Amino acid sequence: MRYSYYPGCSLHSTGLPYDKSVRAVFEALDVELLEIDDWNCCGATAYMSVKETVACVVSARNLALAEPAGLDIIAPCSACFTVLNKTRSFVREMPEFRRNVEASLAEGGLSCRFDLPVRHPLEVLINDIGARRIAGQRVRHLNGLRVACYYGCQIVRPERAVLEDPEVPMALDDLVAALGATPVDYPPKVRCCGGMLVATCEDLARRLCAELCDWARHEKADCIVTTCPLCQANLELLQARGNGQSRPVPVLYFTQLVGLALGCSAEAVGLEQNLYPLKYDFPVLAEASSHA
Binding site for another protein (CB under 8 A): 9-10, 12-17, 38-41, 43-54, 56-58, 61, 89-90, 93-94, 97, 100-101, 103-105, 107-110, 153-154, 156-158, 166, 190-192, 194-197, 199-201, 204-205, 208, 237, 240-241, 272-275
User: Shortest approach of another protein to residue 173 CB, angstroms?
Assistant: 19
78-93 helix and 95-107 helix, angle to the nearest 10 degrees: 110
User: Shortest approach of another protein to residue 247 CB, angstroms?
Assistant: 18
Q: How many helices (H) and strands (E) does the chain have?
A: 13, 8
Q: CB-wise, 10 or 226, nearer to another protein?
A: 10
User: Shortest approach of another protein to residue 104 CB, angstroms?
Assistant: 4
In whole angstroms, what is the distance from residue 239 CA to residue 246 CA? 9
In whole angstroms, what is the distance from residue 194 CA to residue 183 CA? 23
Query: What DSSP string describes 53-74?
Result: HHHHHHHHHHHHHHGGGTPPEE
Q: CB-wise, 166 or 180, nearer to another protein?
A: 166
Q: CB-wise, 7 or 183, nearer to another protein?
A: 7
DSSP-assigned letter for residue 248: P
Q: CB-wise, 272 or 281, nearer to another protein?
A: 272
Q: CB-wise, 91 or 175, nearer to another protein?
A: 91
User: Shortest approach of another protein to residue 282 CB, angstroms?
Assistant: 20
CB 258 within 8 A of CB 134: yes
User: Shortest approach of another protein to residue 196 CB, angstroms?
Assistant: 7
In whole angstroms, what is the distance from residue 253 CA to residue 15 CA? 9
In whole angstroms, what is the distance from residue 235 CA to residue 207 CA? 11
Strands (E), the chain: 2-5, 32-35, 73-74, 118-119, 146-149, 182-183, 223-226, 251-253
User: Shortest approach of another protein to residue 201 CB, angstroms?
Assistant: 5
Q: CB-wise, 131 or 238, nearer to another protein?
A: 238
User: Shortest approach of another protein to residue 10 CB, angstroms?
Assistant: 7
Q: CB-wise, 40 or 246, nearer to another protein?
A: 40
Contact partners, residue 177, CB within 8 Å, separation at least 6: 183
Strand bridging mode 32-35 / 118-119: unpaired
